[in-house]
């Protein structure tokens, strides 16, 4: 089952042992990015998962491609050219100290991608699913047009499309985001969002959410999902509900809105190892659940369990099997040693 995601993969340089960047004498090296993380997740579920991007023709580009392949992702459609790979530096916080990301992604090969770098007819041939996120369009001048190309071909070919809104204030303003993203919504079947995205990208505000304290109001989420579904006719809306107690402890649950009904998952108290990419595991698991024909509640539980588990795995990419996710989704939360 062929699935395709499109976006940027970056070199990720993180400090070990909760060190601050200022103190670091070494960086742990891995590679990641929103859509690449989804591709890696889907590859591990056993799907034929392709990640489409552009990487420079240097050892760092090679290493990023090798990293994708290691996790089972197919790199056949990766364009190779340009000057550099995007980088992000990561401090993993603890307790009251937030994790901190320093981006150094301007002028990357991907940001300078051209429409002719990607032959969507070929790329989406035989595909069942296409996924992208709201991080991608603001990264480069031609990227909104490349995405538009992809979405049109996807529609022609009957490929299901999912979009994770993923609003990043560093990359564009609300107004810019809305101008680009709202027209894309007509192509989108499955919408994925975390708590800030819907307000910023779709211009629909959520009441009952206080980002500062991390308190959530479940009903507000149901209402807003209903509203966006009405407006854009999504088949599914998936929303993650993160309650941040601290950088160490979070509560985590998800809502899948389908057929006019919200389906809330179990709520997990998580001691965090590495939360980067948890939202992408949610997206990946929701896609997987949709492709497998799970009912909405099972989708919610599966996607909540998958993304809960991602919090415990270092690196952007999850390393998980269907069995492991299903075991947690079925209620085995005790974390007892498996021998």
Q: Is 280 one of the annotated active-site residues of the chain?
A: yes
Rounded distance, CA 24 to CA 230, Å? 49
Q: Whose structure tokens read 């698991």?
A: 285
Rounded distance, CA 79 to CA 81, Å? 7
Rounded distance, CA 335 to CA 276, Å? 21
Which positions from 296 through 315 interact with a second copy, judged by CB under 8 A? 305, 308-309, 311-315
Closer to a second copy by Cβ: residue 84 or 130: 84
Minimum CB separation from a second copy for residue 10, in Å? Answer: 12
Closer to a second copy by Cβ: residue 277 or 296: 277
> Which residues are CB-contacts of 203 (< 8 A; sequence separation ≥ 6)?
174, 178, 182
Residues contacting a second copy: total by CB under 8 A = 87
Rounded distance, CA 310 to CA 272, Å? 9
Closer to a second copy by Cβ: residue 91 or 258: 91
Which positions from 89 through 118 interact with a second copy, judged by CB under 8 A? 89, 91, 93-104, 106-107
Structure tokens at 20: 């601050």
| Sign of the alpha-carbon dihedral angle for 195, 276, 283, 176 | positive
For 304, the enclosing helix (H) or strand (E) is: helix 296-310
Which positions from 202 through 261 interact with a second copy, judged by CB under 8 A? 211-214, 244-249
Minimum CB separation from a second copy for residue 210, in Å? Answer: 9
Closer to a second copy by Cβ: residue 116 or 334: 334
Taking CB under 8 A as the rule, does residue 76 contact a second copy? no
Q: Which stretch binds a second copy (CB under 8 A): 2-10, 141-149, 155-163, 330-338?
A: 330-338
Structure tokens at 182: 């709202």
Closer to a second copy by Cβ: residue 107 or 115: 107
DSSP string, 190-241: EEEE-TTHHHHHH--PPSS-BTTTTB--HHHHHHHHHHHHHHH--SEEEEEE
Which positions from 154 through 173 interact with a second copy, judged by CB under 8 A? 168-170
Identified catalytic residue from 117, 164, 274, 280: 280
Taking CB under 8 A as the rule, does residue 46 contact a second copy? no
Which amino acids are annotated catalytic? 280
């Amino acid at each position: 089952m062929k699935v395709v995601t499109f976006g940027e993969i970056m070199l990720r340089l993180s400090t070990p042992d909760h060190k601050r960047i200022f103190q670091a004498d070494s960086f742990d090296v891995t590679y990641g990015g929103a859509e690449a993380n989804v591709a890696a997740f889907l590859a591990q579920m056993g799907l034929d998962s392709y990640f489409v991007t552009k990487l420079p023709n240097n050892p760092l580009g090679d290493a990023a491609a090798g990293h994708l392949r290691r996790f089972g992702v197919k790199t056949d459609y990766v364009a190779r050219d340009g000057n550099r790979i995007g980088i992000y530096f990561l401090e993993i916080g603890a307790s009251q100290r937030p994790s901190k990301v320093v981006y150094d992604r301007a002028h990357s090969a991907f940001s300078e991608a051209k429409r002719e770098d990607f032959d969507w007819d070929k790329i989406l041939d035989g595909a069942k699913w296409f996924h992208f996120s709201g991080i991608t369009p603001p990264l480069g001048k031609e990227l909104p047009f490349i995405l538009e190309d992809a979405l049109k071909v996807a529609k022609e070919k009957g490929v299901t499309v999912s979009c994770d809104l993923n609003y990043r204030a560093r990359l564009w303003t609300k107004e810019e985001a809305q101008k680009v993203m709202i027209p894309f919504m007509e192509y989108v079947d499955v919408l994925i969002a975390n708590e800030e995205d819907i307000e910023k990208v779709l211009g629909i505000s959520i009441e009952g959410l206080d980002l500062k304290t991390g308190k959530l109001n479940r009903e507000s989420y149901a209402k807003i999902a209903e509203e966006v579904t009405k407006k854009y006719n999504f088949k599914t809306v998936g929303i993650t509900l993160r309650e941040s107690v601290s950088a160490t402890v979070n509560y985590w649950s998800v809502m899948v809105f389908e057929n006019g009904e919200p389906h809330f998952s179990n709520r997990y108290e998580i001691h965090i190892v590495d939360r980067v990419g948890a939202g992408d595991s949610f997206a990946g698991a929701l896609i997987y659940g949709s492709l497998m024909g799970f009912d909405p509640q099972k989708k919610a539980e599966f996607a909540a369990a998958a993304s809960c588990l991602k919090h415990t795995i270092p690196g952007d990419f999850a390393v998980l099997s269907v069995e492991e996710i299903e075991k947690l989704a079925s209620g085995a939360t005790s974390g007892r040693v498996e021998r």
